[in-house]
Amino acid sequence: MTDARRPLYPEIAPYRVGRLRVSDLHELYFEECGNPEGKPVVILHGGPGGGISPFLRRSHDPARYRIVLFDQRGAGQSTPAGELRDNTTWDLVADIEALRLHLGIGRWQVVGGSWGSTLALCYALRHPARVTELILRGIFTLRQAELAWFYQQGAGMILPEAFARYLAPIPEAERHDLIAAYHRRLTGPAGPARRHAASAWAGWEGAALSLMPSPAREEEFEDPAFAESFARIECHYFHNRGWLDHDGWLIAQAHRLRAIPGVIIQGRYDLVTPADTALALHAAWPEAQLMIIPDAGHTGMEPGIQDAMVRASDAFALPGKPASRRAPSHLPGAARVHIGD
């Protein structure tokens, strides 16, 4: 009950990497880590456009899981980098299925943070029979209010210095719709103006991820090579509202997930994807276990989020137990629900 917080599992290298062609244009990079005979899990990265990173391999026990990671279209080592054509939510959902079939996996656990949670929900709604469990953190459902909070008006009132740097490239006359203003610049011709807009867009996100300021993280996000594909892909998805049916569609559909065991992990002080969305998801899917981490921001690197991820993945991996049809009822320690604190 009072156990110390658990860190992620140790760093590991993939036992296999590969590439999968998914369209005339797009080829995906993927990795398999852990135990080739273990329980299959696919980890979905954020952004969209963020790409995988080595820490995403570490939320699951490598002795008991076969951990699959891939760079979504245009992200990371997938090619062409930053490509927006044939790049929609439903293309990515189809890619997850193509990868599952390519790897000969029947059903798998689906894990995602932030945009990864959005994509995991879309995949589970489209292919529920393929999903053994869902572990979601930093819940994002692409509602108009969520986009407005971060990219128009809301989070900027908590981080005004960083928000001023995000506003700077956009003239007053265009500031009534910042996603549209950025979309014009990020989909315009390559060159200094586009690069500058990309760094400003990505730097704003980098500034807001952690509970504690992390200038190094902000600099990483402003790095032109990363920023340009990340910002172009993110803005393209958000300008198009994720190609979802209507505003609020994911929450409205979430009742269809109720037979899937799930855990929802959310930082109380998440400025990128505020806790309101996690609570809305939980209200629609009350069987899922909600874990509000009282001292965490957005990123999966927050100590309380790491702890919750490891405990959730361990609970679903218990040796000798078949995948439960319900969320575990007794996640220990930090796995308790803290609502209203």
Residue 45's alpha-carbon distances to 58, 115, 138, 211, 228, in angstroms, are 13, 7, 12, 20, 17
210 noted as active-site residue: no
Which residue of the set 71, 270, 307, 314 is catalytic?
Answer: 270
Residue 79: burial class (beta carbons within 10 Å; 0-12, 13-18, 19+): middle
The smaller minimum CB distance to ligand STX, of residues 47 and 328, is found at 47
The nearest distance, CB 114 to ligand STX, in angstroms, is 3
Residue 126 CA to residue 121 CA, distance in Å, equals 9
Which residue of the set 114, 210, 229, 313 is catalytic?
Answer: 114
The answer to whether residue 272 forms part of the interface with ligand STX (CB under 6 A) is yes
- Residue type, position 130, single letter: R
Q: Coil, helix or strand for 303?
A: helix
The smaller minimum CB distance to ligand STX, of residues 231 and 335, is found at 231
Query: Quick one: which of 205, 218, 270, 314 contacts ligand STX (CB under 6 A)?
Result: 205
The nearest distance, CB 57 to ligand STX, in angstroms, is 14
The nearest distance, CB 208 to ligand STX, in angstroms, is 9
Q: Which stretch binds ligand STX (CB under 6 A): 43-51, 181-189, 243-251, 316-324?
A: 43-51
The smaller minimum CB distance to ligand STX, of residues 223 and 287, is found at 223
# residues contacting ligand STX (CB under 6 A): 9
At 262, which helix (H) or strand (E)?
strand 262-267
Residues 44-73 that bind ligand STX (CB under 6 A): 45-47, 50
Buried b (16+ CB within 10 A) or exposed e, 255-284: eebeebbbbbbbbbbbbbbbbebbbbbbeb
Bridge partners (DSSP) of residue 113 are 137
Q: Which stretch binds ligand STX (CB under 6 A): 2-10, 27-35, 40-48, 153-161?
A: 40-48
Structure tokens at 30: 């993927």
Bridge partners (DSSP) of residue 67 are 33, 41
The nearest distance, CB 272 to ligand STX, in angstroms, is 5
What is the dihedral sign for C-alpha 183, 233, 309, 12? Answer: negative
176 noted as active-site residue: no
The smaller minimum CB distance to ligand STX, of residues 51 and 328, is found at 51
The answer to whether residue 242 forms part of the interface with ligand STX (CB under 6 A) is no
The smaller minimum CB distance to ligand STX, of residues 272 and 331, is found at 272
The nearest distance, CB 324 to ligand STX, in angstroms, is 28
The nearest distance, CB 334 to ligand STX, in angstroms, is 22
298 noted as active-site residue: yes
Show the DSSP H helices in the chain as ranges.
Answer: 89-102, 115-126, 144-151, 160-167, 178-186, 192-208, 215-222, 224-239, 249-253, 275-284, 303-316
The answer to whether residue 261 forms part of the interface with ligand STX (CB under 6 A) is no
The nearest distance, CB 140 to ligand STX, in angstroms, is 6
Q: Which stretch binds ligand STX (CB under 6 A): 39-47, 64-72, 99-107, 119-127?
A: 39-47
The smaller minimum CB distance to ligand STX, of residues 123 and 140, is found at 140
Give every CB contact of residue 31 below 8 A, 6+ residues apart in sequence: 14, 16, 17, 52, 57, 68, 69, 70
* 290 CB neighbour count, 10 Å cutoff: 22
Q: Coil, helix or strand for 246?
A: coil
Q: At 87, give phi and psi (nearest 5°).
A: -135, 90
Which residue of the set 26, 229, 298, 313 is catalytic?
Answer: 298
Query: Quick one: which of 59, 78, 87, 114 contacts ligand STX (CB under 6 A)?
Result: 114
Residues 140-159 that bind ligand STX (CB under 6 A): 140
- Footprint of ligand STX (CB under 6 A): 45-47, 50, 114-115, 140, 205, 272
Residues with active-site annotation: 114, 270, 298
